[in-house]
A and B are shown apart, each in its own frame.
Chain A
Amino acid sequence: MKIVAQFEIPYFQFLNEDSQVVGDLPNFAKDPANLLRLYRLMVLSRVLDAKAIALQRTGKMGTYPSTRGQEAVFIGMGDAMLPDDIFVPYYREIPTLMQRGVKASDLLLYWGGDERGNYFADPKKNLPFAVPIGSQALHAVGIATALKIRHQKNAVIAVCGDGATSQGDFYEAMNVAGVWKLPVVFVVSNNQWAISVPRSAQTAAKTIAQKAIAAGFSGEQVDGNDVIAVRERIAQAAEKARSQQEPTLVEVLCYRQSDHTTADDASRYEQKGIREEEWKKEPIARLRRYLESIKAWSPEQEEALQTECTNEVVKIVAEYEGVVPDEPTAMFDHLYATLPDIYADQYEMLKNIGGTNG
Chain B
Amino acid sequence: MAEITLVEAITQALAYEMKVDPNVIVLGEDIAKNGGVFRATVGLLDKFGPERVRDTPLAESMIGGLAIGMAIAGLKPVAEFQFMGFIYPALDQIINHAARIRNRTRGRMSCPAVFRAPYGCGIRAPEHHSESTEALFAHIPGLRVVMPSSPARAYGLLLASIRDPDPVVFLEPSRLYRWAKQEVRDDGKALPLDVCFTLRVGTDVTLVTWGSLVKETLAAAEMLAKEGISAEVIDVATIKPLDIETILASVEKTGRCVIVHEGARTGGVGADISAQLAERGLMFLKAPVQRVTGYDTIVPYARLEKFYLPSEKHIISAVQQIMEFA
Contacts and interface: CB of A to CB of B under 8 A. Distances in A.
Nearest to A336: B166
A123 to B, nearest CB: 7
B69 A138 contact: yes
A86 B51 CA distance: 21
B75 interface: yes
Contacts of B243: 342
B97 A130 contact: yes
A147 B73 contact: yes
B96 A132 contact: yes
B75 A127 contact: no
A291 to B, nearest CB: 38
B166 A168 contact: no
A147 B75 CA distance: 10
Contact of B102 (A127, A168, A336): A336
B103 A146 contact: no
A28 interface: no
A128 B62 contact: no
A115 B103 contact: yes
The secondary structure that dominates the A interface is helix
Interface stretch (B31-39, B104-112, B293-301): B104-112
Contacts, number: 142
A334 B102 contact: yes
B56 interface: yes
Contact of A335 (B57, B62, B70, B103): B103
Interface in B65-81: 65-75, 77
A142 B69 contact: yes
A130 B64 CA distance: 15
B322 interface: no
Given A145-B70, A146-B75, A334 B103 contact: yes
Contacts of B142: 335-336
A127 B72 contact: yes
Interface residues of B, number: 49
B59 A175 contact: yes
B73 A146 contact: yes
Contact of A334 (B61, B89, B106): B106
A124 interface: yes
B244 interface: yes
A140 interface: yes
Given A141-B69, A334-B103, A343-B241, A149 B75 contact: yes
Contacts of A333: 106-107
A176 B66 contact: yes
Contact of A172 (B61, B105, B242): B61
Contacts of B244: 342
Nearest to A88: B69
A146 B105 contact: no
A334 B103 CA distance: 5
Given A124-B72, A175-B59, A340-B241, A119 B105 contact: yes
Given A149-B52, A340-B241, A343-B241, A116 B65 contact: no
Interface string B39-63: 0000000000001101011010110
Nearest to B74: A146
Contact of B70 (A115, A143, A341): A143
A337 B144 CA distance: 12
A146 B70 contact: yes
A175 B57 contact: yes
A334 to B, nearest CB: 5
Q: Which of B62, B72, B165 has the most CB of A within 10 A?
A: B62
Q: Which of B54, B71, B106 has the most CB of A within 10 A?
A: B106
Contacts of B141: 335
Contacts of B159: none
B89 to A, nearest CB: 8
Contacts of B245: 341-342
Contacts of B62: 138, 141, 169, 172-173, 175-176
A169 B61 contact: yes
A146 B166 CA distance: 18
Q: Which of A120, A145, A176, A333 has the most CB of B within 10 A?
A: A145
Q: Which 4 pairs show the lowest CB-CB distances between chains A and B?
A: A142-B69, A138-B65, A146-B73, A172-B62
Interface of B: 25, 51-52, 54, 56-57, 59, 61-62, 64-75, 77, 89, 92-93, 96-97, 101-110, 141-142, 144, 164-166, 194, 241-245
24 contacts: A115-B103, A115-B106, A119-B106, A119-B108, A120-B108, A128-B104, A128-B105, A132-B92, A135-B93, A137-B65, A138-B64, A139-B65, A141-B66, A143-B69, A168-B61, A169-B65, A169-B93, A175-B62, A176-B66, A335-B103, A335-B141, A337-B166, A342-B241, A342-B244
Given A145-B54, A333-B107, A342-B245, 9 more contacts: A116-B106, A119-B105, A119-B107, A135-B92, A138-B93, A139-B68, A139-B97, A149-B25, A179-B57
